[in-house]
Structure 1
């Protein structure tokens, strides 16, 4: 992606120079790996993970802060993230304006290790997530190395851009009331039915990521879309379950299959029309 020398958003909170942080709700080891596998790209993961692990890990740990200087590579990656967020701000502000709405710009928090959010505490093991409680995207960039080494994705900077734009998609769903409506519809449903609604929400976020890429074509390099599709393929529920347990359980899917995730990203990229994000109608 062509990003050097372009506008950077000032809505990024870089907390990578601080480690530690009060109550730890998500640990490493088995729990961390399970959370990562089940919640990768987690949508509104912070809310889910926080509520579950507060019950599992109620202990209070001593809060510590330690300086962790950023390398040149870290600093460059932070600048890249700021450009991607700026592109999302510009594109979604324009789309919202065209539809008679006002786009509220979210903040993006970069962290290492663990972080406290309005949705609870989280660690790097939770993967990137959006918290509707404070309307922020949280991300430990170390996740993307895991995406390559453990999930077989190609990697590349546009895989990061795709993930950021997917999480911004959840912010858009919050602004448009889609997330609240989905949670209301989940009430009283069976687990399988509720999971289908969750899948629809996640696939729509993939679609919105594709819409963003559609309007950012002038800044794309050859191979960028392939990097995004490789990431989407790697984190499909079926791919994750196959790696984790050797078989798949479709009724337990919460994010969609690899094929679905790639399809909806491509649909957003090809159409650029937010009205085409009809995942709820098609997934039911």
Structure 2
């Protein structure tokens, strides 16, 4: 079938005898009819708006994938276990829809979605597969990349794992259908003209050709998506939200532990001999 991306593989280093494996993505399973995505082209009720973690931006869960247009800044629930199991992917996606999880993966839509074909793959009016720009990787892809780069030698494994962890995601163009197991897609509410959308797609494609080296703290998917989207700011409010939440929960646990210790000390030593009642 035309327009279908080939299975992903990693080029082994020069001199390596390791044979790379081909990694299938969800779209290959859909097109082979081994399973179907969870989304549909129906038009249910419009979802209510939500406030993003920066307390300024507004986003909304799209009612149907056919509402997506090129240049849209979209998000799905952050899922580090993506592509391991369709049902795990769906459960994580549902948690985001129910507002039980507030960390998201960001990407840019590169084509207008006109319809969803019989395989469940979003397509354009020209019957081409709809694509997105994103920084991403999967557990299977990470393991295969480490295996290929390690030359099959266990002694070099720790170094390769560390290097791959620091640059574990790659900026690339992938089918939107790869997120068919995570049907709850969110879109930033932005007023974009046709010129804005053309500029966003152009900048996104340029970023694929001249990608910034990934780093989870200062060069993640949100940084790059905000850079090319309508916001045009190289920023990641989720990093600030995550760090603040981590500090807050750490202080909460320390406070509870301190209160527990003080209570035990008070009861066993002071209050037992000098009761206050």
Structure whose alpha-carbon radius of gyration is higher: 2
The verdict on a shared fold, with TM-score over 0.5 as the criterion, is no
Query: Structure 2 length normalisation: TM-score?
Result: 0.30
Query: By percentage of residues, which structure has more helix?
Result: 1
